[in-house]
Amino acid sequence: MPRILIVDDEPDLCEILQFNLDLAGYQTEIAASAEEALTLLQPDHDLILLDIMLGGMSGWDLARTLRKERNLNIPILFLTAKTTEADLLKSFSVGGDDFITKPFSLPEVLARIRACLRRTAAPQAPMPSTSQLITLDGLQLDPDRGVAMINGARLNLSPKEWGILALLLSRPGCVFSREDILHQVWHGESCVLDRTVDVHIARLRRKLGPMGARLINRQGHGYCLE
Amino acid sequence: MPRILIVDDEPDLCEILQFNLDLAGYQTEIAASAEEALTLLQPDHDLILLDIMLGGMSGWDLARTLRKERNLNIPILFLTAKTTEADLLKSFSVGGDDFITKPFSLPEVLARIRACLRRTAAPQAPMPSTSQLITLDGLQLDPDRGVAMINGARLNLSPKEWGILALLLSRPGCVFSREDILHQVWHGESCVLDRTVDVHIARLRRKLGPMGARLINRQGHGYCLE
DNA sequence: CGCTGCGGTTACAATCTGGTTACAACGCCG
DNA sequence: CGGCGTTGTAACCAGATTGTAACCGCAGCG
């Protein structure tokens, strides 16, 4: 039973959604604000229905935060009264998966939810988001909190750096081609030169300090951590 | 480099789409009918932009056919002038991933395409940890780690050497002609003298040490490992 | 003997690859 | 709006890799 988090500050609307989603066989929770959503969100949630205009943090901010800082990959469907093209583009640019304008038809919402879940349900474990703490010698990653530490000292990594490190650390010793890395970390978002990976690797090496020497290139194959 | 098939019977619209998709870095093809789409569609297409009203087979029929009979899983985005809720629901029910009504804004189409591809590109190469090393006596190849070992000692092989060794090791005792080797390792890339293979064999022999003696030439036939 | 075909080996230049830096573009945040 | 961090690209450099030609030895053979 897929689990859906509804984030909206209109209680009536939330109830209608919840009623119909429950009817359709989903398990639902309601958050009245982005802040509440952050505390309610569980690792096993499968999808978020998100309003944009909320008191405090906006839906866009929440989406960006989830994607970037929590490295969360579940679908986010924006449900909003904002209807301009700029609103739509912004919603997709912060990592949204769909954009439905109010007033909406419930069957449409259900259809779009189903379409999204069909895409994401198939591959069970796309990222190492399952495990708690990935560790290699003095280096440790906490995927849930998006924190990387080296001998207890916290590293300040950019999202891409974090993604690359998490990927390499998920299978130490294994070689990942630049293509692999682009696929996994950039999530296939269009066209980036593969040499870009090199640059990020270099930046990672520097931040890793002595451990950077263990981020190795296998000529003609790719990069690995060992 | 993602590859997109545009299926629409209005040439003008197709051209506008193609022009803009090309600009955005996608590779595009155009089919003017569902039937043409069926012949044009390649296994490495990543997404389909599909009109509903077409001469002959409708977009819905095409989508259903692709999903059911070809077992195709790539995203299908419907682009259509039909705007009723019934049309939308039908589009999702035949396996569509999104539904955009004409007239549409190009940025919106691009954003929705990007969102779809982001979902499907990730598990593209979900490296199943099938680290099966190829072994022959003290010699072992681990394709996963891009490492060749000989009695536990790491060999430092160049890509071509690696390719040749992997090929010979795939069928120990079998003879591979220089042509075979060029074909398999060089992937038919242009014109390289077959004597070049000899040079690489020599370098391999040296790196293999004592085991190099087992890299044998069969006069007039080729090389083999035994 | 010399000639010939074949393969091993070496040397060297051309090319490729990866490390690194600098810089421009973008988005975010105050 | 302006500063800041992040990101993608281009450019340069050093070193590894690669292709070619040349030279060598060997076996077969008239």
The predicted model scores a pTM of 0.71
- The tens-digit pLDDT sequence of chain B (226 residues) is 788 999 999 999 999 999 998 888 888 999 999 999 999 998 889 899 999 999 899 999 999 999 998 989 899 999 999 999 999 999 999 999 999 998 888 989 999 998 898 887 654 444 445 557 788 888 999 988 889 999 888 999 999 999 999 999 999 999 999 999 999 999 877 688 999 999 999 999 999 999 999 999 999 999 999 8
Q: Are strands A76-80 and A98-101 parallel, antiparallel or unpaired?
A: parallel
Q: Residue B191 contacts by C-beta under 8 Å, 6 or more apart in sequence?
A: none
- pLDDT at site B159: 95
Residue (of A100, A12, A6) closest to A48 by Cα position:
A6
C-alpha to C-alpha distance for B24 and B194, rounded to whole angstroms: 41
Terminal CA-CA length for chain B = 42
Q: Over pLDDT 70: what percentage of chain A?
A: 93
Q: Are strands A222-225 and B3-7 parallel, antiparallel or unpaired?
A: unpaired
Q: What type of residue is A210?
A: P
Q: Is the CB of B214 under 7 A from strand C?
A: no
Q: Are A123 and B119 inside 8 Å of each other by CB? A: no
C-alpha to C-alpha distance for A189 and B118, rounded to whole angstroms: 6
B144 three-class SS: coil
- pLDDT at site A189: 67
The secondary element (H helix, E strand) that includes residue A153 is strand A153-155
- pLDDT at site A132: 60
Q: How far is B219 from chain A, CA to nearest CA, in Å?
A: 31
On whether the CB atoms of residues B117 and B178 are closer than 8 A, the answer is no
Q: What is the mean pLDDT of residues A78-96?
A: 91
Give the pLDDT confidence of A38-53 residue by residue, as tens digits. Answer: 999 988 899 999 999 9
On whether the CB atoms of residues A122 and B99 are closer than 8 A, the answer is no
Q: How far is B225 from chain A, CA to nearest CA, in Å?
A: 23
Position A204 pLDDT exceeds 90: yes
Quickly count: other Cβ atoms within 10 Å of residue B198's Cβ. 13
Give the pLDDT confidence of A93-152 residue by residue, as tens digits. Answer: 999 999 999 888 999 999 999 999 998 875 443 444 444 677 888 898 887 677 888 888
C-alpha to C-alpha distance for B116 and B72, rounded to whole angstroms: 15
* B22–A contact, CB cutoff 8 A: no
B170 three-class SS: helix
- pLDDT at site B27: 87
C-alpha to C-alpha distance for A133 and A142, rounded to whole angstroms: 5
Total residues found in chain B within this entry: 226
C-alpha to C-alpha distance for A134 and A125, rounded to whole angstroms: 15
- pLDDT at site B130: 55
- pLDDT at site A149: 87
Question: Which pLDDT band, with edges at 50, 70 and 90, does A72 fall under?
Answer: confident
- Of the residues B119, B156, B160, B164, the best mutation for testing chain A's interface (the one with the most A CB atoms within 10 Å of its CB) is B119
- pLDDT at site A208: 93
Residues of A in contact with B98 (CB under 8 A): 98, 115
Give the pLDDT confidence of A148-197 residue by residue, as tens digits. Answer: 888 888 889 998 999 999 999 999 999 999 999 998 898 766 678 999 99
Q: Is the CB of A217 under 7 A from strand C?
A: yes
Using the structure block, give the residue that is written with the tokens 């451990």. A211
Report the residue from A93, A126, A220 with minimal CB separation from B122.
A126
On whether the CB atoms of residues A97 and A76 are closer than 8 A, the answer is yes
Give the pLDDT confidence of B102-111 residue by residue, as tens digits. Answer: 888 898 999 9
Residues of B in contact with A71 (CB under 8 A): none
Residue B214 is encoded by which pair of tokens? Answer: 């087992």
Shortest CA distance from A225: residue in chain B? B145
Q: What is the CA radius of gyration of chain A?
A: 19
In DSSP terms, which residues pair with B216 in a beta bridge?
B224
